[in-house]
Structure 1
Amino acid sequence: MAKVSWGVLSTARIGLQKVIPAMQKGRHSRIVAIASRDAAKARDAASRLKIPRAHGSYEALLADPDVEAVYIPLPNHLHVEWSIKALEAGKHVLCEKPVGLDAEQARQLQAAAERHPHLKVMEAFMYRFHPQWIETRNLVADGRLGELRSVQTFFSYYNVDPANVRNKPDIGGGGMLDIGCYCVSLSRFLFDDEPRRVFGAVEYDPKFKIDRLASGILEFRAGTSTFTCSTQLSAFQRVNVIGTAGRIEIEIPFNAPPKKRCTIWHQGESGLRRIRLARCNQYTIQGDLFSQAVLNDTDVPTPLDDAVANMRVIDAVFESGRTGTWQTL
């Protein structure tokens, strides 16, 4: 079985605890190197996760000839910088969401990718590849909800740790970039369209200066999407998808547990139906799909156009929150 050799830039928790172990189980992915600016951290991570090589700098990993693709779970403000450096080093790039701090940064990465058309680049919105989202989108596309008119999303957790990267505004902290990006992404995914205009209400933490509570209305041609995300509310996530003839409720839309079967509820003309999906790891699926695009020289599942469009909407939510006015896209 052909596999792509991956390197990981940083020893971030999401990589160590979720993404690397998942990709190591993939059919088309293998992790061959990990890097940290602290060589001891890189060696420790490599030892614990049985990764063959540890590098004491990001530059060293990018110079490693055995690394074909890199996964980048760095803090948000470093995403575009190191994605571009990886491309210039001849590596394919899977970059954690959000792809950058704003749409302008996303466009900079897109321009860099256009200069390297033989390399693959993708924003890591892993949720889209979970079977529960494939099933939901198929039900919508097949007209099982009638006409899609409304998508409602809630995503929150409670984090007031001053040392946490999510509470540092200068490196891209805050709820919109961390979890609000999912709320925007999924609405665009389900409506298969871009919103015409956006309204946002954003509350900032007086100490941390990050957005801690944000709500938005995205107006599409077919209907509206509403969402609330917060870094300082009780942990909760839910998505409701509502049409003229039915609805879907997704119980664990984003952090789908790999060892449990996920459930979605579909209510249509024949009543309420519980749909249980097979156990799977969405990070494994994401890694393999990207690796297959590399191996087969095909398009990645989610192009950078999508990443740029998502950041454009996030920018509009922030601007609307600042001005108190609708923002036309």
Structure 2
Amino acid sequence: MTRKIRWGVLGCAGIAVKAVIPAIQSSRLGRVTAIASRDPGKATQVAARFGIDRAYGSYEMLLADPDIDAIYNPLPNHLHVPLTIKALQHGKPVLCEKPIALNAAQAGELAAAQRAAGLPVAEAFMVRHHPQWKKARALVAEGRIGEVKAIQMIFSYYLDDPANVRNQADIGGGGLFDVGCYAVSTARFLFCADPARAIALMERDPLFGTDRLTSGLLEFPEGRQLAFTCSTQLALTQKVTVLGTRGRLEIPIPFNAPADKPTVLVLDDGRDLAGGGREEIVIEPADQYREQADTFAASVLSGTPLDTGLEDAIANMRAIDALFRSAVSGHWEEP
């Protein structure tokens, strides 16, 4: 019988309840056995819903539980680093939601704690675990669209609830932290490189103080570019186009791919504007959250280092830091 790790979940965040807990409960290598919330009633309710054995009224009680093998941290952004460090101090590996920190310096503090503990810590960019992104990276590497020079991305949704953590600037809300980080991460994933400089425009909500509309441009080595727009107050949209010298690759549902339906990659050699060179590659259904959980669990069980660790997370935060600085300075900034 395959051993499964016992997960503890910090908080009852929407992403945990809607996607991650169900994915872990159906995964090959793990099961959620404890959940904690500062609201004990909420923890008890979620535990009953998903068949979780233990519900705690504090994060500290869960972290002290000797029967927990790993922690999933989906708390608001300002609690990612301090609670992940606490988990490491209790001997628990951590899968932490993105962004891993509020800046690269914080991420560096976490990396120091991770090295001291000698335990796995990963940033939860679930999209990198979906077969459509792995296939997209392979197609780029194979030269199917020639030399890739540009990536364009849009990720937006509409949310104007002041109580939502995404609209609270003091705890890390805003569009760049919430969804713009996907553009930075996946461009780095496809280019297999880090950007050399960044420039950004931001429009902030006058009430919340968060960036509700951000557009950024990242320059990568060899003149390659990422151009993206993200927003927390525009119509729901997701789109990725990868442009090469001999064609383009489109990912129609790049970030919230359905777990129960196939996804499609679209290749077009650009022979005309009517789709004469269009080819569709169907990707079988996959739960990217389940794939992420099993990848992390496999590392915990085997002791094998993760392919994507905190150094990658720090590099992502450096690029995000540069975008924030650029929005203030009005100039190009180096990560």
By the TM > 0.5 criterion, same fold? yes
**Alpha-carbon separation, structure 1, partners of 2:185 and 2:169:** 22
Shift of 1:269: 8.2
**Alpha-carbon separation, structure 2, partners of 1:229 and 1:73:** 21
Match of 2:62, SS state, is helix
**Alpha-carbon separation, structure 1, partners of 2:198 and 2:49:** 45
Shift of 1:260: 1.2
**1:157-214 Cα deviation digits (max 9, x unpaired):** 0111111111100110000000000011111111100111111111111111000000
**Alpha-carbon separation, structure 2, partners of 1:221 and 1:310:** 16
In the alignment, what sits opposite 1:98?
99
In the alignment, what sits opposite 2:132?
132
Consecutive unaligned residues of structure 2, counting only runs of 5 or more, are 272-276
Match of 1:327, SS state, is coil
Letter in 2 for 1:51: I
**Alpha-carbon separation, structure 1, partners of 2:334 and 2:70:** 37
**Alpha-carbon separation, structure 1, partners of 2:270 and 2:235:** 35
Match of 2:181, SS state, is helix
In the alignment, what sits opposite 1:241?
242
In the alignment, what sits opposite 1:274?
280
Aligned counterparts, 1:92-171, within 5 A: 92-117=93-118, 119-171=119-171
Shift of 1:300: 1.5
Asked whether the equivalents of residues 289 and 301 of structure 1 are also in contact (C-alpha less than 8 Å), the reply is: no
**Alpha-carbon separation, structure 2, partners of 1:279 and 1:285:** 12
Q: Quick check: 1:218 aligned with 2:233?
A: no
Asked whether the equivalents of residues 248 and 270 of structure 2 are also in contact (C-alpha less than 8 Å), the reply is: no
Letter in 1 for 2:68: V
In the alignment, what sits opposite 1:292?
298
TM-score (norm 2): 0.96
**Alpha-carbon separation, structure 2, partners of 1:301 and 1:45:** 32
Shift of 1:13: 1.2
**Alpha-carbon separation, structure 1, partners of 2:307 and 2:270:** 33
In the alignment, what sits opposite 1:24?
25
Asked whether the equivalents of residues 99 and 178 of structure 2 are also in contact (C-alpha less than 8 Å), the reply is: yes
TM-score (norm 1): 0.98
Identity of aligned residues (%): 53
Q: Quick check: 1:204 aligned with 2:207?
A: no
Runs (4+) of structure 1 exceeding 3 A deviation are: none
Match of 2:49, SS state, is helix
Q: Quick check: 1:263 aligned with 2:250?
A: no
Consecutive unaligned residues of structure 1, counting only runs of 5 or more, are none
In the alignment, what sits opposite 2:326?
320
Letter in 1 for 2:131: P
Higher mean alpha-carbon deviation, 215-224 vs 120-129, is at 215-224
**Alpha-carbon separation, structure 1, partners of 2:104 and 2:201:** 19
**Alpha-carbon separation, structure 2, partners of 1:139 and 1:230:** 29
**1:96-116 Cα deviation digits (max 9, x unpaired):** 000011111111111110111
**1:301-326 Cα deviation digits (max 9, x unpaired):** 31100100101101100111101001
Asked whether the equivalents of residues 290 and 301 of structure 1 are also in contact (C-alpha less than 8 Å), the reply is: no
Shift of 1:280: 1.1
Shift of 1:150: 0.3
- RMSD of Structure 2 on Structure 1 (CA): 1.0
**Alpha-carbon separation, structure 1, partners of 2:200 and 2:39:** 40
In the alignment, what sits opposite 1:70?
71
